Chains A and B, each alone.
Chain A
Amino acid sequence: GQQLNQSPQSMFIQEGEDVSMNCTSSSIFNTWLWYKQDPGEGPVLLIALYKAGELTSNGRLTAQFGITRKDSFLNISASIPSDVGIYFCAGRKSGGSNYKLTFGKGTLLTVNP
């Protein structure tokens, strides 16, 4: 099935640094979602975006729905050790298959204290 191009695949950063990751697609999506997955656990929804150009924050996390509707970005400011995990983007199209989420392969984030 179709995959989103998520980058980078992994990041190693120092505590306190800011982090940016993104997802791109050749297709247009009407919803973008960002999830975080801790080892051995299910993905947890961080931010949901429903309109092109939308910029939404959740604490130190900020995500944007790209104007072209083909991309989305997630930024984490002032990283802390508990930010460690895998971050997934997911996109949803409208129409008959609007249940279906297309997932990126994830960005593995490591934060060194």
Chain B
Amino acid sequence: DADVTQTPRNRITKTGKRIMLECSQTKGHDRMYWYRQDPGLGLRLIYYSFDVKDINKGEISDGYSVSRQAQAKFSLSLESAIPNQTALYFCATSHGGTDTQYFGPGTRLTVL
């Protein structure tokens, strides 16, 4: 079984809709992250969380919000989706000791 899972794997939605992407991990890591990947731009950090009560903005947090429901769960919400949020979204986890990040399989989001 995968250590980091993301749901859904693919989603098509319309402009203005609220969308939630979910991430779960069984690695026992305390730190979790959300990235988006766009062609030519690489991976960019949206939000990160060091524990359940610690949430921080990354490079590109505008238009996004997150919730850390438990140590193992970290969800990303788009309150009102817009077309330029079409991208691949990845969740990652790490242990505070080494901070080596392990990625989930990704969610491909298309906003029409």
* Chain A residues with a Cβ under 8 A of chain B: 1, 3, 31, 33, 35, 40-45, 48, 50, 88, 90, 92, 98-101, 103-106
Contacts and interface: CB of A to CB of B under 8 A. Distances in A.
Contacts of B33: 99
- Which of B44, B59, B99 gathers most chain A CB within 10 Å? B99
B50 A48 contact: no
B62 to A, nearest CB: 14
Given A31-B100, A40-B108, A105-B40, 7 more contacts: A31-B99, A41-B105, A41-B106, A42-B104, A50-B98, A103-B43, A105-B42
Interface of B: 4, 31, 33, 40-45, 48, 50, 59, 90, 94, 98-106, 108
Given A1-B59, A43-B90, A48 B98 contact: yes
A45 B40 contact: no
B50 A42 contact: no
Given A31-B100, A48-B100, A99-B50, A40 B44 contact: no
B43 A42 contact: no
